[in-house]
Structure 1
Amino acid sequence: MVSPDRAPAKLEGKYAAMVVCWLLGNGCLFSWNSMLTIEDYYVYLFPRYHPSRVLTLVYQPFALGTLAILAYHEAKINTRRRNIFGYTLFFLSTLLVLVLDLATSGKGGLVTFIGIFAISGAFGVADAHVQGGMVGDLSFMGPELIQSFLAGLAASGALTSALRLITKAAFENSRDGLRKGAIIFFTISTLFELLCVLLYAYFFPKLPIVKYYRAKAASEGSKTVSADLAAGGIQTLLKEQDEEQFQRLSNKQLLFQNIDYALDMFLIYVLTLSIFPGFLSEDTGSHSLGTWYALVLIAMYNVCDLIGRYIPLIKFLKLESRKGLMVATLSRFLLIPAFYFTAKYGDQGWMIMLTSFLGLTNGYLTVCVLTSAPRGYKGPEQNALGNLLVLFLLGGIFAGVTLDWLWLIGKGW
């Protein structure tokens, strides 16, 4: 039997766990961000189908619907199988994007677009398994682990943006330059997703700090960690105990107690996705940066999103007040008129500044909410609350990408 009170184990492997969480966070969105970042390639292939908007809109119902089901049954789901399935689906779907492009020789058309359309839905299903599963799993561990995972999510966007700028510079003047860059993107993404499958399946569960927190969660009645404990070489031999000891708050009770946090997550991503990436890709006008303009905007958003997720590590800069978080979240909606008038009358410098602020606040508030909300609950409740908050996050993304179409009013198709 592993005692969850074995304090030294809590400290062992902490930094290794943080690095692995960062890589797993990367893997959660690396493939999808690759698809978003090469939007100029898909706009070239499918000029009539608004790919930067349509693919995002397809992705979200699959992610939201799947996570709603998983969150409802969270207490009975084997977390290990859930996350391994998600990362494996990311790997296979990314490989299919590469195969589809090679099979069609980089030609557009409706059939190819339907194939990309279907793969986008698969990415959504994978995201629901991994993002909800990992945030739930890490919610009952130290806040530094969930912060590393969330930073990894943002880093995937920053890395794909940097890679996209490099490939564009390398292939801009070559024949089929856009396609060559896209192939490199998805080759790297495929290999990286395979790495994430191996890291989660074989390395992560064996880290002492991870074993400690999972054993602690098991002692508090969690039924989702047994397979992960076994993979880490631990058999929990918990004594027969009264069921009342393991009673936990229901999802409904957790939601009512944390409705402000849930609304924060929803509103943060409604605002962000109503602007990024659709508006930034198609509605910012013509500027001196030319075809680089949208890529620079997306890169600045991603880099600042990553920076924002590290700011809460400085204690006096971390916003923990529930009222403060709500006020900050609502204040961001002033960015909508700011973007509208900047796109209409401002120059590219102002737009880059606004986009940077959008990313900075998105990352900062996300980490503040997801690290503050689980405090004070038992392991099973923290897992459930993590899933619920990610469900509202994805709900906000879905609402945001739907509202993003409103920018097209009066512009024609």
Structure 2
Amino acid sequence: MAADYWAAVYPGRHVDRTFTVCYLPTCLLLIGVFIRFPKLLSHRARILTGFGGFFTLMLAVPMIDIVFVTDASTDGPPGAYSLLLLTVLLVGVLDGVSQGAIFGDAAALPSEYTHAVVGGTASSGALISLLRIATKASLPATREGLRKSIALYFGLSAALSLACFGVYSAVLPRLGVVAHWRRRRTSAAAGGGSGHSTPRRGSLDGGSGGFARRVSSLSDGAQGGRGVGGAPPLSDEEPLIHENHEAGAHESATEHQQGHGKRSAAAPGWRECLMSVWRLALAIALIYVVTIAIFPGVLAEDSHNATLGDWYPLILMTLFNFSDLAGKNAPLPKLTQRGHRTLLGWSTARALFLPLFLLAMRLGAPAAVIGALTVTLGVSNGYLTALVMTSAHDAAPNVAAADMLENLMVFSLVLGLLLGALLGWCWVL
């Protein structure tokens, strides 16, 4: 969202595209590490490390500019640019540490909460867009004005990161909804629901080789010492509870013992989990290959409008973020295994956006046409993302499975981001 200033300070460096490629490999690597070694850190430690680190790095960016770019009329020195790339790399590290943990926390709750987390990711993008517009509009459209607006922008972003740190560490553990769903899970587990939870639409009981019947816990996918918002950790053997699920809490002691026997069976790892939802993993990767090949690079660097000037890319990115927000917060259906195939088909069809944007940019399409394409790109990105993430959650038979499946979805999403970022360089070539 600071593309206008970086383009002025570091001309010709394709900053948005470079940032994306610098940030994503480290993020992907860390997500993979935590999938392979899920007990390395608790969810709480990972999330708090992320928010604390984001706060520090948001303050570091304007400090680099103040210290090294002393003359507002000259280009930024290579040393400052290298430090800026280092901060971007560290943001990728922190995102890789925390992102999977956030979805893992939500995985211990009904899928409505995973939907809420997905919507929250879009809300942050929309909020950042408004923040950037406000800071840009409040100061003169000069190099020095841009510099001050960037300092204000990152300062407010740091404050927001600090607020998230405080909310997660001090407020979330005290919310009644956390205690409510913990009691529901504990009740179901005590009554035998661990091995006999009621099948749900879209669960893996009906497909993918009977994954949910073979597995009631993923011991190698369990996160030790974690709980929602820092609440006491939950057993990975506890079932997922949905609002319409009550039967599992009333089963007999004999059934509970049978269920316990099933839990002691060999638990599969991430490979079997991935094979059970490979269509969803491929779908979300394809969604973000297409999206990141266009956003933000094409919108930030390749879109031009004589009337709107440097406001034009900012307006387009804001349109995308709000469209993405609308898509991610739209009502969602429950999908079956056949629905997973349909979802993969729609995700593949989004590849049509690539030639459409290419033609629009090459032919100098009017702002209204580019804007309409951007809105469609954002809505489809948000809606399909929310469908994939909630469908993966619905496919899980218990807490540990949901945790692992959500982390695999996050890994696939970031892999798509990385491939899309690399594809985005083809626009430059």
- TM-score band, normalised by shorter chain: 0.7 to 0.9
Shift in CA distance, 229/387, structure 1 to aligned 2, threshold 3 Å: closer
Residue 143 of structure 2 is aligned to residue 179 of structure 1:
no
Structure 1 pair 316–128 and aligned structure 2 pair: CA distance change class (3 A): closer
Partner amino acid for 1:44?
A: A
CA distance in 2, matches of 1:152, 1:183: 25
Q: In the alignment, is the contact (CA less than 8 A) between 1:139 and 1:371 conserved in 2?
A: no
The residue correspondences of 1:327-342 to structure 2 (distance < 5 A) are 327-342=345-360
1:310 correspondence with 2:329: yes
SS in 2 for 1:268: helix
Paired residue for 2:251? none
1:228 corresponds in structure 2 to: 227
Q: How many residues align?
A: 369
8 Å contact from structure 1 (residues 171, 180) kept in 2:
yes
Q: How far apart are residue 228 of structure 1 and its match?
A: 3.2
* 1:297 and 2:316 correspond: yes
| Structure 2 residue identity aligned to 1:66 | L
Please list the CA deviations of residues 249-273 of structure 1 after superposition, one character each: whole Å capped at 9, or x if unmatched: 3211110010000001100000000
Indicate the larger mover: 99-108 or 124-133: 99-108
CA RMSD, 1 decimal: 2.7
Counterparts in 2 of 1:363 and 1:212: CA distance versus 1, 3 Å: same
Aligned to 2:13: 49
Q: Which residue of 2 aligns with 1:384?
A: 404
Matched residue, 1:150 = 118
Instruction: Tell me the distance in 2 between the aligned counterparts of 1:234 and 1:138.
Output: 13
TM-score by length of 2: 0.79
Residues 214 and 229, structure 1, Cα contact 8 Å, conserved in 2: no
CA 341–182 in structure 1, closer or farther in 2 if over 3 Å, else same: same
The answer on whether the counterparts of 2:23 and 2:91 sit within 8 Å (CA) in structure 1 is yes
Q: How does 1:57-72 map to 2 (within 5 A)?
A: 57-72=21-36
Distance change >3 Å, CA 80–CA 70, structure 1 → 2: same
Contact 1:63 1:394 in 2 (8 A): yes
1:129 matched to 2:97: yes
- Assess if the C-alpha contact under 8 Å between 1:312 and 1:368 holds in 2: no
CA shift, 1:77, in A, is 3.7
Counterpart residue number, 1:18 = none
| 1:310/1:364 contact within 8 Å kept | yes
CA contact (8 A) 2:290 2:351 kept: yes
- Asked if the contact 2:173–2:231 (Cα under 8 Å) also holds between the matched residues in 1, the reply is yes
| Greater shift in the superposed pair: 388-397 or 367-376 | 367-376
Deviations 1:296-340 (A, max 9, x none): 111100010001111135x59999811221111011111111111
1:324 and 2:342 aligned: yes
| Greater helix share, structure number | 1
Instruction: Name the counterpart of 1:20.
Output: none
Name which one, 1 or 2, has greater alpha-carbon Rg: 2
Q: 1:361 aligns with which of 380, 385, 388?
A: 380
Q: Measured at CA, do residues 245 and 185 of structure 1 come closer, stay the same or move farther in structure 2, by a change above 3 Å?
A: same
Q: CA deviation at 1:208?
A: 3.3
Q: What TM-score, normalized by structure 1, do the two folds share?
A: 0.82
1:303 aligned partner, one-letter code = F
2:299 paired residue number: 280
AA at the equivalent of 2:341:
K
Q: Name the CA shift for 1:59/1:233 in 2 (closer, same or farther; >3 Å).
A: closer
- Say which is worse superposed, 272-281 or 132-141, in terms of deviation: 132-141
Cα deviation digits, residues 187-244 of structure 1 (max 9, x gap)? 11111111111111122123233245457389566752634379537898x9xx9685
Q: Relative to structure 1, is the Cα distance of residues 154 and 175 closer, same or farther in structure 2, using a 3 angstrom cutoff?
A: same
* Matched letter for residue 336 of structure 1: L
Does structure 1 conserve the Cα–Cα contact (< 8 Å) formed by 2:107 and 2:402? yes
Q: Which runs of 5+ in 2 are unaligned?
A: 195-216, 238-256
Identity of aligned residues (%): 30
Q: Check the 8 A contact 2:21/2:418 in 1, yes or no.
A: yes
Q: Is the 8 A contact 2:43 2:101 kept in 1?
A: yes
Pick from 163, 166, 181: which aligns with 2:134?
166
- Displacement after TM superposition at 1:102 (Å): 2.9
Task: Give the whole-Å Cα distance in 1 for the aligned partners of 2:97 and 2:370.
Answer: 35
Question: 2:58 maps to which residue?
Answer: 94
* Structure 1: 5+ residue stretches without partners: 1-36
Which secondary structure state, in structure 2, belongs to the residue aligned with residue 332 of structure 1? Answer: helix
